[in-house]
């Protein structure tokens, strides 16, 4: 589709809880070692919310920081889109809690659920609202309290996940952090590889679902690993090709922070140096849809990129879903 103008990420912000759960802490809870966790995931520590904190609490802090970065007042926000698999409650949306608490009195609000690929899904929606002229300012949030749905008796999953939030303000392009393209995909036939089985209309909460621990994340790690590597490679190649670019034209890849082995294997298949992929999973773990906006904010604040650099965002997660975007810094 030809666009009369483009959309830009005009502000970014993130927020991480203060509490740190290290591999050594997990060693005290489980039959594992720091070496075992690090070798398989690349994770050394992850952030965990205190009791009583909700996904919206993290999102509010990240949102306010993004709005401040964009020099936008909450009253100027037209729409809030939150990507999360850990909403405060099934309804109303977490976006509505954010809207009220930041004072975005003129904003519509809704959530999307596309798991780890969700932030770029939400970014795509925001981009299209802006380029159509329907909205001037959209706040896009990725926020998760994955510790609330993580089984800390299951060594295969509890080593992976952490809590955090990131946010971006999307407006008509100002020539910086310009969204060039977004791509979305899914394969529902693989849904059972990564899911939270209970709590919805199919398996409402019951004594049976609680006893079977079906309200926690369930992951088939070996199957997901191979799919994630191949999918990430395919999505990157397709995104680059459809924009008449080569992989060498990309200055930095910001992948969803799922597992450092997945990222490194994908970079090897692409025949690119692993340093070309931004990695912070060692400090935060897998924060699902929050991982890419947290990374964007860290990169921006650290001045890792220079104006005109080309960045590729790519994510793969439950659904199965995947997404990508090219952003001109």
Q: Where are the beta strands (DSSP E) in 88-223?
A: 108-112, 137-145, 163-172, 178-186, 194-195, 218-219
> Which residue among the candidates 23, 231, 259, 286 is catalytic per the annotation?
286
CA distances from residue 310 to 161, 178, 199 in whole angstroms, order as listed: 29, 10, 41
> Which residue among the candidates 128, 145, 158, 256 is catalytic per the annotation?
256
Annotated active-site residue 286? The verdict is yes
Closest by Cα among 132, 107, 113 to 7: 132
Q: By three-state DSSP, how is residue 254 classified? A: strand
Sign of the alpha-carbon dihedral angle for 12, 298, 38, 270: positive
Distance from C-alpha of 259 to C-alpha of 156, rounded to nearest angstrom: 12
Q: What is the largest CA-CA distance in the chain?
A: 58
Annotated active-site residue 256? The verdict is yes
Annotated active-site residue 183? The verdict is no
Contact between 254 and 314 under an 8 Å Cβ cutoff? The reply is yes
Contact between 63 and 122 under an 8 Å Cβ cutoff? The reply is no
Q: Which DSSP symbol is given to 277?
A: B
CA distances from residue 223 to 27, 43, 88, 219, 248 in whole angstroms, order as listed: 26, 20, 30, 9, 30
> Which residue among the candidates 116, 128, 158, 259 is catalytic per the annotation?
116
Sign of the alpha-carbon dihedral angle for 83, 85, 86, 88: positive
Sign of the alpha-carbon dihedral angle for 57, 62, 68, 72: negative
What's phi and psi for 284, nearest 5 deg? -125, -10
Distance from C-alpha of 65 to C-alpha of 12, rounded to nearest angstrom: 7
Residues involved in catalysis: 116, 256, 286
């Amino acid at each position: 589709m030809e666009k009369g103008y483009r959309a830009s990420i005009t502000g970014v912000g993130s927020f991480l809880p203060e509490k740190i759960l290290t591999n050594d802490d997990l060693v005290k809870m489980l039959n594992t070692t720091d070496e075992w966790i690090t070798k398989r995931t690349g994770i050394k520590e992850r952030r965990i919310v205190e009791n009583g904190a909700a996904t919206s609490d993290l999102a509010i802090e990240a949102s306010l920081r993004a709005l401040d970065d964009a020099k936008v007042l909450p009253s100027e926000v037209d729409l809030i889109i939150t990507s999360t698999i850990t909403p405060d409650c099934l309804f109303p949306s977490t976006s509505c809690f954010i809207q009220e608490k930041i004072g975005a009195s003129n904003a519509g609000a809704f959530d999307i659920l596309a798991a780890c690929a969700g932030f770029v899904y939400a970014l795509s929606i925001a981009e299209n609202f802006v380029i159509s002229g329907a909205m001037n300012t959209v706040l896009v949030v990725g926020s998760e309290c994955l510790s609330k749905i993580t089984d800390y008796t299951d060594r295969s999953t509890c080593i992976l996940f952490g809590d955090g939030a990131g946010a971006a303000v999307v407006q008509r392009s100002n020539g910086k952090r310009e969204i060039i393209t977004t791509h979305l995909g899914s394969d529902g036939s693989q849904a059972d590889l990564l899911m939270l089985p209970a709590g919805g209309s199919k398996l409402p909460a019951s004594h049976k679902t609680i006893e079977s621990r079906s309200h926690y994340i369930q992951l088939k790690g070996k199957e997901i690993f191979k799919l994630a590597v191949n999918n990430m490679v395919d999505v990157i190649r397709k995104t680059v090709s459809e924009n008449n670019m080569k992989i060498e034209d990309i200055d930095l890849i910001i992948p969803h922070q799922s597992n450092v082995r997945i990222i490194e294997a994908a970079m090897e298949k692409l025949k690119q140096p692993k340093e070309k992929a931004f990695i912070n999973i060692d400090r935060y773990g897998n924060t699902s849809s929050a991982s890419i906006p947290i990374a964007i904010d860290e990169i921006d604040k650290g001045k890792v990129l220079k104006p005109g650099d080309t960045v590729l965002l790519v994510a793969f997660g439950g659904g199965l879903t995947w997404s990508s975007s090219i952003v001109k810094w």
